[in-house]
Structure 1
Amino acid sequence: MIRCMLESSDGSILTGGSELLIEWQRNREGKFWLDIQEEDTSGERKLLEKLGLHTLAVQDAQRDRHPPKLEEFDDFTFVLYRGIASFNAELVHDSQNIAFFVGDNFLVTRHPKPAVSIEKLFSEQGSKLLKQGPGFLALRIMHTSAGLYLDALLEFEERLSDIEDALMNDGNDDLMRELVTYRTRLVKLRRLFNYHRNITDELRSDEYLALNYKDDPMGHAITDLHDRFDRLYTLAEIFYSISGDLIDGYISIASHQLNRTMQVLTVITAIFVPLGFLAGLYGMNFEYIPELKIENGYFILLAAMGSIAVGLLALFRKIRWL
């Protein structure tokens, strides 16, 4: 699917398909946004190269698992961004690479699946941003996408709080499995946000053709985008640490409970070992066992066994095993 947005000579915004692309290619006047989605790979490559975009940048854009990057070419800036196809508060996300080819008066976005941030901005709001400049529009698309990540992470914070309360009240293996799953997803998100934070750091440190940090509006937009990704990275790092702490805490509590159980069993064993020894000793089938014919021997032995049991109980309580 090819969608176009073109600022005409009178300042109005036109939206349409490939016919606007043909019109813009005639003289390349006015600001132009070309959005490409789910196009044939070979046809897409020919179209992008026909627009004067570098072959290597096009190849990077069409790779499914290429990490985010920023690269400057002669007449455009290439940004490869990891956007969102879907994302929810369970941190289940379907991400995709969104390629931005940003020139002085054009923006080309390429993505294999529908992108939530682009769908939100390909409207009246997008036309206002296009008038401000293709670079500003590209930054706003990334900013909108980062906002979707942020909304989902803030919702996840509530779920993490619920898990923490549940672990304290009635921890179980299902909650542990859920926490381990979240921790794995947070590792991936943390790595992703770090890529994007590095890109915005680079935008602030070097001069780029279509994303000039020294230009006041653009500089504020880049700083705002950097702050948002820095917050996303920090939140992912914090939630990762909290998940790890909850896992370690649950394991520690479970180990402590096991130790207490073993302690009680040890006390019971320690008490009954001498009692069992005495019962076994006087239960032997020998005719001449000492004390066997004492008139009150049975009661004396019971008293001795009781004294041993009480004495051991007192000892264990004194050393705080009970």
Structure 2
Amino acid sequence: MIAPTPIHAFDVSDVGVASAVSDLQAVSPGRGYRWVHLDLADVEAFAWIAEQADPVVADALMRTDTRPRMSEHADGMILMMRGVNLNPNSDPEDMVSLRLWVTEGLVITTRMRRLVAVAEIAERMSGGAGPATPAELVCALAQGLTARMEPVLEALVDEIDDLEERSVDRASRLRGELADIRRTTIALRRYLAPQRDILARLSLEDVGPLHHPHVRVTLRETADRLARLVEELDMVRERSSILNDQMVDARAEEMNAAMLLLSVVAAVFLPLGFLTGLLGINVGGLPGAHWPYAFALVCSACLGLAGGLVWWFRRKGWL
């Protein structure tokens, strides 16, 4: 069988000494484990994973659309995690999926796009040192993915703080920016919440390759950090909803003020329009038709009527 071309491949001893693997057909060392990181676009990947594990694992690791989850299978564990997209010209909320098959002697990971956390671990292994066990590798990946989420969440908090300050003067102009924040929050929480639950479960349950006590402690701490990030997202979402309500209220008040002004203007001119319309009918017998001061009298009466209406509206508090 033709082996796929890995993005990264290392043999790691039980004391954490890593060495690059150039041929996946070569037998891995007896003590330690092998980590193979593959690209989903590699056409040979599915068959190779199916041979190393089974078709169920291959199908899980080659899916293009995943959500964070964990399931035990045979002698290993299938694990799906997500990380923020830090690739150039990409949005962080467009999260990148990392798929893992973890056993005592083999870890297979697959991805569609580059993840900085994976690249940093591979760089460490290229230097000759890496996590000594598959469980520690999973911990390092979880910690790396979580650590790179924190700046994104901090930026969201800063953005909502800035919007709240600017909304005092021009709330109606910030609706587009607020909508972007809300979309980002929803997209991030969609994956962070289940990933938090998975890490919490891994830290509590005695799961196959992750049964080491110190690994469970590390996973618990990572789960707590991720829980805090989810709480931050919930806070941003609530503040966004409150700010949106304030913007809607401010817009409604502006509309009400404009409608009130138009109503007052219409109320002032309604009797004036009736009066001028009545005097403008083309029939005989209109008073003052031949009196030279009649026009001035009518104008004075109209001004007096308008002034009286304005005074009345002010007294009622409508102006």
TM-score, length basis structure 2: 0.84
Question: In the alignment, what sits opposite 1:116?
Answer: 116
Q: Which one of the candidate residues 8, 13, 18 is aligned to 2:17?
A: 13
Letter in 2 for 1:6: D
Q: Which moved more, 1:189-198 or 1:243-252?
A: 243-252
Contact 1:87/1:93 (8 A) holds in 2 = no
In structure 2, relative to structure 1, the CA distance for the partners of 1:289 and 1:166 (3 Å cut) is same
Letter in 1 for 2:115: A
In structure 2, relative to structure 1, the CA distance for the partners of 1:165 and 1:12 (3 Å cut) is closer
In structure 2, relative to structure 1, the CA distance for the partners of 1:234 and 1:91 (3 Å cut) is farther
Q: Secondary structure at the match of 2:284?
A: coil
Letter in 2 for 1:185: T
What is the RMSD of the two structures over their aligned residues, measured on CA atoms?
3.0
CA distance in 2, matches of 1:182, 1:128: 40
Q: Secondary structure at the match of 1:288?
A: coil
Q: CA deviation at 1:117?
A: 0.7
Q: Which one of the candidate residues 1, 4, 22 is aligned to 2:9?
A: 4
Q: Which one of the candidate residues 310, 315, 318 is aligned to 2:315?
A: 318
CA distance in 2, matches of 1:134, 1:311: 87
Q: Secondary structure at the match of 2:108?
A: strand
Q: Secondary structure at the match of 2:114?
A: coil
CA distance in 1, matches of 2:248, 2:178: 12
- Aligned: 1:35 with 2:37: yes
In structure 2, relative to structure 1, the CA distance for the partners of 1:75 and 1:28 (3 Å cut) is farther
CA distance in 1, matches of 2:238, 2:184: 13
Q: CA deviation at 1:73?
A: 2.4
- Aligned: 1:179 with 2:184: no
Instruction: State the Cα deviation string for residues 87-118 of structure 1 (Å, max 9, x = none).
Output: 69995444332122222344322223322111
CA distance in 2, matches of 1:306, 1:20: 97
Question: In the alignment, what sits opposite 1:282?
Answer: 279
Contact 2:16/2:130 (8 A) holds in 1 = no
Contact 1:84/1:116 (8 A) holds in 2 = no
Question: In the alignment, what sits opposite 2:163?
Answer: 163
Q: Percent identity?
A: 20
Letter in 2 for 1:5: F
CA distance in 1, matches of 2:241, 2:315: 37
Question: In the alignment, what sits opposite 2:201?
Answer: 202
Q: CA deviation at 1:292?
A: 5.0
* Alignment of structure 1 residues 108-147 onto 2, 5 Å: 108-124=108-124, 130-131=131-132, 133-147=133-147
Contact 2:18/2:125 (8 A) holds in 1 = no
CA distance in 1, matches of 2:89, 2:38: 29
CA distance in 2, matches of 1:39, 1:316: 73
Q: Secondary structure at the match of 1:321?
A: coil
In structure 2, relative to structure 1, the CA distance for the partners of 1:269 and 1:89 (3 Å cut) is farther
In structure 2, relative to structure 1, the CA distance for the partners of 1:40 and 1:284 (3 Å cut) is closer
- Aligned: 1:267 with 2:267: no
Question: In the alignment, what sits opposite 1:81?
Answer: 81
Q: CA deviation at 1:198?
A: 2.2
Question: In the alignment, what sits opposite 1:46?
Answer: 47
Contact 1:78/1:100 (8 A) holds in 2 = yes
Question: In the alignment, what sits opposite 1:235?
Answer: 232
Letter in 2 for 1:199: I
Q: Which consecutive unaligned segments of at least 5 residues does structure 2 have?
A: none
CA distance in 2, matches of 1:140, 1:253: 48
Contact 2:94/2:187 (8 A) holds in 1 = no
Question: In the alignment, what sits opposite 1:257?
Answer: 254
Q: CA deviation at 1:21?
A: 6.6
Q: Secondary structure at the match of 2:135?
A: helix
TM-score, length basis structure 1: 0.84
Letter in 2 for 1:321: W
Q: CA deviation at 1:271?
A: 1.0
